[in-house]
Structure 1
Amino acid sequence: MPMAAHPPRPAHSTKHLALLRYPFRDLVFHLAQRDDGLTNGTALWLGAQCLSLYLADALRLKAPPARRLRAIELGSGIGLSALALCSMGWDVLATDLPDVISAVLTSNVVRNASQLPGGSGTIQVRALDWTVPADQWVWGNGTFIGLPGGPGTERTELVETLGPPFDLIISSDTLYAAEIVHPLFRTLHALITLSAGHGCRSPPVYLAIERRDPSLIDLALADAVKLWGFAAERVPHKKVVKALDKGGVKWDKEDWEGVEIWRFTQKTSSSPVSANV
């Protein structure tokens, strides 16, 4: 890919563009998006922009790992964060709902992944509906992990599918309605439990949000701690500013005011705190 010449613009100023020429570090991603009001997941949002640059700065490795690290993203949308991690050498499982996958995610991954430089990881796209409980997930299927009514015995043998254990879980711009809170954190808890069950250390979760509805965000954070047993820590704003600056982004304060990145880790207990959850 060509050297990035111009820093990325904030997402709200590019919603009208059907194809984004999106610079990330020394790369340029070509990302299709739709702003047709049918779903939030087919357009670029600020959280993904900030999270991808923060991870590029925070996850720099001091030494090559013994194996290629593996990440899963919930609500991948147009694929920016998943492609960013992949370009950094991670194997990435990008997940979303089928309509988002068919509208933008798969085509963006196909368009960009083959152009990544040597040393990049692999990236796969599969559907995961958070309303489907973990005991109905299918890791050997090349199309979906969890879909309502999905046949649990169906398998796809054409590809070796990515699955647990995961070293990292990420999500951005996915806390925007009260009915999403419980399914999201249930899914996060299950992914951590599955990864730890393979004898690996529990993976951290990085969640990027826009605080449009402060009461909703406060409720979600409280539930993550009280109901699901997460330890929650906000990434200091100055660290995010530093990461954006390193990525060549110098937005005005009002361009991304309200964006926060939170880091969640699982406490020693692997079960939800509340027996009613």
Structure 2
Amino acid sequence: MKTGTTGTTLWLGAQILATYLSDTLPPSSSVERKRRCLDLGSGVGYLPLCLAAWGWDVIATDIEPVVSTVLTPNAAEGLDVIRREMARRGVLASVGTITPLELDWINYVAADTTPPSDLPDPLRGDYLDLIITTDTLYAPSLTQPLWSTLTHFSNLSRSRHPKGKAPELLLALENRDPGMIAQALDVGRAMGWILKRVPDTRVQKGVEKAGWGWGRAEWEGVEVWKGRLEKLDVKARA
């Protein structure tokens, strides 16, 4: 995968998904096990920072040089700002962590095969509560690698969940090419993903609660999809 503006721009999909998450996510308690999220295509790290501020531990992934030059420094500086601001306000809530990691989807292009054993395991022996990805369905050549990566880590997480539960997927996109997006979503469905679009009215509720003053026209074309993998790939790494 090549880098360009995709890892250095804050896209609209990430901003809209952040408002939806802020209105729907349960808090992650410091007393219980912290909830964990895997973000595919973290870019500047906006969503990982939002989730960490809400107490979640996030594995934030992208490719080089985005990880070392953008994502990692932004995560470190952003977490410091969040902690200082919470301390200033006297907020006792626990801040989550962000683990930046290089992850190239091309390594997972064949969903029915096990990736090489030397690839990094971002789950670190634990399971995920959530997988997110935003503005990543934009090139047909990356569609199969993205769904293969999502499938692999969903199966891997499910194999580690005490009840065998797969993590929820939240996907946000700007639908600039309806035909291409429809085909991309069909690829996911063919691989066993159950996908359902979140109604715009529900997304708008989160946008309004964010207090940004955005009307529907401000995020025209952005869609939020929920999904879960129902077809278990028995070859996923344990």
Greater alpha carbon shift after TM alignment, 206-215 vs 53-62: 53-62
For 1:204, which of 155, 168, 171 is the aligned residue?
A: 168
Structure 2 distance, partners of 1:62, 1:83, is 14
Pairing of 1:80-159 with structure 2 (within 5 A): 80-116=46-82, 117=86, 118-133=93-108, 135-136=115-116, 138=118, 145=120
Structure 1 distance, partners of 2:202, 2:118, is 37
2:150 counterpart residue number: 188
Deviations 1:100-156 (A, max 9, x none): 1133111111111123234111111010000113522657xxxxx38xxxxxxxxxx
Q: Is the 8 A contact 2:13 2:173 kept in 1?
A: yes
Pairing of 1:1-277 with structure 2 (within 5 A): 38-61=4-27, 66-116=32-82, 117=86, 118-133=93-108, 135-136=115-116, 138=118, 145=120, 162=124, 164-200=126-162, 201-226=165-190, 228-267=191-230, 269-271=231-233
User: Could you say which structure has the greater relative contact order, defined with CA pairs below 8 angstroms and 6 or more residues apart?
Assistant: 2
Q: Is the 8 A contact 1:42 1:103 kept in 2?
A: no
In structure 2, do the counterparts of structure 1 residues 80 and 122 end up closer, same or farther at CA, with 3 Å as the change threshold?
same
Offset of residue 224 of structure 1: 0.9
TM-score, normalised on structure 1?
A: 0.72
Match of 1:131, SS?
Answer: helix
Greater alpha carbon shift after TM alignment, 176-185 vs 54-63: 54-63
In structure 2, do the counterparts of structure 1 residues 137 and 238 end up closer, same or farther at CA, with 3 Å as the change threshold?
farther
In structure 2, do the counterparts of structure 1 residues 47 and 220 end up closer, same or farther at CA, with 3 Å as the change threshold?
same
Match of 2:44, SS?
Answer: coil
Match of 2:75, SS?
Answer: helix
Q: Is the 8 A contact 2:40 2:62 kept in 1?
A: yes
Amino acid across the alignment from 1:74:
L
Q: Is the 8 A contact 2:61 2:100 kept in 1?
A: yes
Offset of residue 63 of structure 1: 7.7
TM-score, normalised on structure 2?
A: 0.83
Match of 1:251, SS?
Answer: coil
Amino acid across the alignment from 1:211:
N
Amino acid across the alignment from 1:197:
S
| Percent of paired sites with the same residue | 38
Number of matched residues?
Answer: 216
Offset of residue 41 of structure 1: 1.7
Unaligned runs of 5+ in 1: 1-36, 140-144, 147-159, 273-277
Match of 2:214, SS?
Answer: coil
In structure 2, do the counterparts of structure 1 residues 113 and 66 end up closer, same or farther at CA, with 3 Å as the change threshold?
same
Greater alpha carbon shift after TM alignment, 108-117 vs 241-250: 108-117
Q: Where is the helix percentage greater, Structure 1 or Structure 2?
A: 2
In structure 2, do the counterparts of structure 1 residues 109 and 137 end up closer, same or farther at CA, with 3 Å as the change threshold?
farther
Q: Is the 8 A contact 2:28 2:56 kept in 1?
A: no
Structure 1 distance, partners of 2:117, 2:58, is 18
In structure 2, do the counterparts of structure 1 residues 214 and 137 end up closer, same or farther at CA, with 3 Å as the change threshold?
farther
